[in-house]
Structures are given as C-alpha cells and as structure tokens.
Amino acid sequence: MTTETDRAARKKAIIDRLMSLEAQELATAQAHYDAYLKDAQLDDREVHDKDDIVASRENADLAAAFDAPVHAHHAKIDVIENTDFSLADTVQPGAVIKFNNRRFVVCVSTTRFDVDGRTYMGISTQSPIYLAMIGLQQGDVFTHNGVEFEVQEIL
C-alpha cells in the first residue's frame, strides 16, 4: 500500500524532472539564439562585402526564429513555478494523472520524459483532453473524440 509520503515523494520527483526538462529546452533555445545573434553582428571593419552582409542578415533572421522558443520556454517555466503541485484527488492543474495506461502532468505541454522507469508527458490546461476530464476523480470515466477513458490514478 502506498502512503501519502510515498505519493508526495513520487510526485516531487516527477515535477523536478518536468522543471529540469523545461530548463534544458530553454538553455538549448537560448544557446541557438545567442550563437546566431553573435554571427549576425558584423565586425569592426569599415567595409563589408555583399556576402558578409547577406550572411549577417541570414543569421539575424535565424536568431529571430529562435527568439520565440526562448520566450515560450520562459513562459512554461513561469507556469511550472506558479502551479500548485500538492497531492490532488481530482483532475486539476498540477495533478499527475493516469488514463489509458499513460501518465500526464497537467501544467504545460512537454515531450515525453521518464521518472523511475515510468513515462510521463506534460499537457496544457488548454488541451481538449484536459478540458474533457477536469474535476474528475479516480475511477471516473470521460469521453474524448468518441473514445471512453477511465481515470486510473491521480497524484
């Protein structure tokens, strides 16, 4: 039988991994942005040939393309930091839920990640599947895209 302390420790490990994953994504996006921004700057020479100017402009465009992911990952980290991840008994923001033998963290959308041999994925509070099950408890059934699912577990 799992105790509340065990459940809380398991949930903390999941949330720590979620934050770590998002911090890594931010660091990668920031590194790409910084590299292209640096390459977009022309050196101190007075005259630059056409190739220098074209390369600078292309790198500036690439840096701009990486600006949006940097802001998106900052926003996700902000949401994670401001979400209440205490143990839950209903599907709500901050809950870790299992249905269809898959596990999800209700907070922000993420790629899959593993904790203690189990695979999780973050889902947004705006996602249609979350909206279909908000407020449900373990054992409740909901329908999404014409398919019925049972909420198997909530942390």
pLDDT at site 18: 96
Residue 113 has pLDDT above 90, yes or no: yes
Q: What is the pTM of this model?
A: 0.78
Residue 130 makes CB contacts below 8 A (sequence gap 6+) with 91, 106, 123, 124
When pLDDT is cut at 50, 70 and 90, the band that residue 55 belongs to is low
The tokens describing 126, both together, are 């705006």
